[in-house]
Amino acid sequence: MKEIYDCIIVGGGPVGLWLSCELRLAGLRVAVIERRTNRINQSRALTIHGRTLEVLSLRGIEERFLAVGKPIKSGHYAVLDTRLDFNIFDSRFPYTLYIPQETTEALIEEFALELGVEIHRGAVAERVVSGADGGVTVSGANERPFELHGRYVVGADGARSLVRLQAGIEFEGHSGSGTWFLGDVVLASPPDAPLVSAFNEHGCVLIAPLGDGVHYRIVVNEAEDSGRRRQDAVTLEELCRATARVVGSDFGAHSPLWLSRFDNETRLAKSYRRGNIFLAGDAAHIHLPAGGQGMNVGIQDAMNLGWKLAAVATGTAPAELLDTYESERLPVGIYLRDTTMAQSHLITAFSARGRALRGLFNDMLKVPAINAYFANQVSGFAVQYPEPLPGSAPPRSGLVGNRIRDMPLRLSDGTDATLFGLLSKGQWLDLIISEGAKVERPDWLHPRSVVEARGVPTAHGDTLRDIGAILVRPDGYVAQTAASTSTREG
């Protein structure tokens, strides 16, 4: 059979599923191809950072995640003793949410199905071919051969991405050095502290509860590399021996749910796009999973690409808007690559000199401004898009290119709303705060793509002081502002 879609997404993890939601909000016909017949049952990623919670809130589904996750007010950089303080964030979510990836994926899939996304499980993509008409064909097999044709294809198919390979996009970087053990286990004698991190000349250990009241995750990196490869199987005995070597006890670890080995291989796609083929998430960038950034950056990739691809596909934006996906997200990938490599070096600095370097970084993180810098970077709140979109006037204030926080609004008709609530359908927001103020929209922006509202913030509006009107992109970043009439008159 040959099916025709607006977009085919190869990869049905959190990144591919979130992208499918964005496209369906615009009414596009979307297919997600996923080789697994069932969702993962290993809790790979365990955190949703504050900025990603804002992404979920922009579409009105954050409560589904808050209901089952546990907020944690701090994070770590390179497993240093001085924690990153997340209380500083000007956000509804000044924390990271502790939640297993299997739950995150299930909740995003639930939203995708509600929107009408077609998810094809057990479908193994084997060929991705661009056609003379600009479209792309994906073919492969599940119970029987399939051939899907799409105007666009997005590879969200992980580190060994078939889409990236067949698009001929280079995956530049560094091979892994050394390996880490990971085990989700039951502990007969759990540690007193809910979170344990230890670092000494023997290695590094992290221990954290998985949230089900039974299982714990242990992650170990030994100072002496055993020479084992990432693909080699891990035994419970090996995990226990390495843990005890670093912290003096294995806490009676038994009954493993999952044992795995990973390394610090770091790679970044040379381009995020080749014609009508795009990459997102691990298909575009892989790294040591330090600070829980991988899935979060991937979901934010999908958010950035989603509204742009939807706008171009529906004919409400020029094709050059798609160029800004790479120009905005590739710098984020570069920083992710560099900061995780830096953390990898610090985490494996087991020598006396290395431990001295870690001590220096521990002291540096006690300086509030330095701590805030790293906290904002790890959480995603620091991301900015300073370059104007095609067809846009020069920025009228320093807010342009920055995320805007959610805030309650009193609209001109007397009703109450929230800023994020006005963005929940994936449209732009043109909010007039003071009478007579007007923003300059991109010259291509169609009125039907914009929610127009008049109102004032009833809380958290300090950042909008002297702002008379604001234009917000569908992903919650400020596109343009206009000064208030009183400011102009003054």
- Residue 416's DSSP bridge partners are 410
* Domain's final residue, options 262, 285, 300: 262
Tokens linked to 77: 């950089």
Q: Assess if residue 82 is contained within a domain.
A: no
**Cα(288)–Cα(290) distance, integer angstroms:** 6
Tokens linked to 16: 């591919």
What is the total count of domains within the chain? 3
Same-domain pairing of 271 and 131: yes
Same-domain pairing of 457 and 308: no
Tell me the CATH number at 166: 3.50.50.60
**Phi and psi (nearest 5°) for 97?**
-95, 120
Same-domain pairing of 215 and 187: yes
DSSP 8-state class, residue 394 = P
Tell me the CATH number at 230: 3.30.70.2450
Residue 230 pLDDT: 60
Print the domain residue range for 29: 2-46+100-174+266-348
The number of beta carbons lying within 10 Å of the beta carbon of residue 237 is 10
Q: Are 103 and 111 in contact (CB under 8 A)?
A: no
The helix/strand/coil state of 347 is: helix
Q: Assess if residue 372 is contained within a domain.
A: no
**Cα(143)–Cα(123) distance, integer angstroms:** 8
Same-domain pairing of 301 and 282: yes
* Domain's final residue, options 262, 284, 308: 262
Same-domain pairing of 143 and 206: no
Task: Encode the chain (490 residues) as per-residue pLDDT tens digits.
Answer: 567 999 999 999 999 999 999 999 999 999 999 999 887 776 678 899 999 999 999 999 999 999 999 999 999 999 899 999 999 999 999 999 999 889 999 999 999 999 999 999 999 999 999 998 889 999 998 778 899 999 999 999 999 999 999 999 999 999 888 788 899 999 999 998 878 888 889 999 999 888 788 999 999 998 887 666 666 788 999 999 999 999 999 999 999 998 998 888 999 999 999 999 999 999 999 999 888 889 999 999 999 999 999 999 999 999 999 999 999 999 999 999 999 999 999 999 999 999 999 999 999 999 999 999 999 999 999 999 999 999 999 999 999 999 999 999 999 999 999 999 999 999 999 999 999 999 999 999 999 999 999 999 999 999 999 999 999 999 999 999 999 876 555 4
> Which has the closest alpha carbon to 51: 95, 16, 101, 15?
95
The amino acid at 471: L
Q: Assess if residue 73 is contained within a domain.
A: no
Is the backbone of residue 255 left (phi > 0), alpha (psi -120 to 50) or beta? left
Q: Assess if residue 443 is contained within a domain.
A: yes
Residue 344 pLDDT: 92
Q: Assess if residue 213 is contained within a domain.
A: yes
- Quickly list H helices, 407-480: 419-422
Residue with tokens 């057990």: 122
Q: Assess if residue 277 is contained within a domain.
A: yes
Cβ partners under 8 Å of residue 336, min gap 6: 285, 287, 293, 297
Same-domain pairing of 325 and 186: no
**Cα(434)–Cα(482) distance, integer angstroms:** 10
The helix/strand/coil state of 269 is: strand
Q: Are 306 and 17 in contact (CB under 8 A)?
A: no
Same-domain pairing of 438 and 419: yes
Same-domain pairing of 35 and 115: yes
Same-domain pairing of 280 and 139: yes
DSSP 8-state class, residue 88 = G
Helices 14-25 and 101-115 cross at an angle (nearest 10°) of: 20
Same-domain pairing of 29 and 142: yes
Helices 323-347 and 294-313 cross at an angle (nearest 10°) of: 180
2, HSE (Cβ side, Cα atoms, 13 Å): 4
Tell me the CATH number at 413: 3.40.30.120
**Phi and psi (nearest 5°) for 138?**
-115, 125
* Domain's final residue, options 215, 235, 262: 262
Q: Assess if residue 72 is contained within a domain.
A: no
Task: Write down how long the chain is.
Answer: 490
> Which has the closest alpha carbon to 399: 370, 365, 424, 433?
433
Same-domain pairing of 206 and 275: no
Q: Assess if residue 69 is contained within a domain.
A: no
**Cα(74)–Cα(404) distance, integer angstroms:** 22
Residue 248 pLDDT: 92
Same-domain pairing of 291 and 412: no
- Residue 2's DSSP bridge partners are 147
Residue with tokens 């993509």: 125
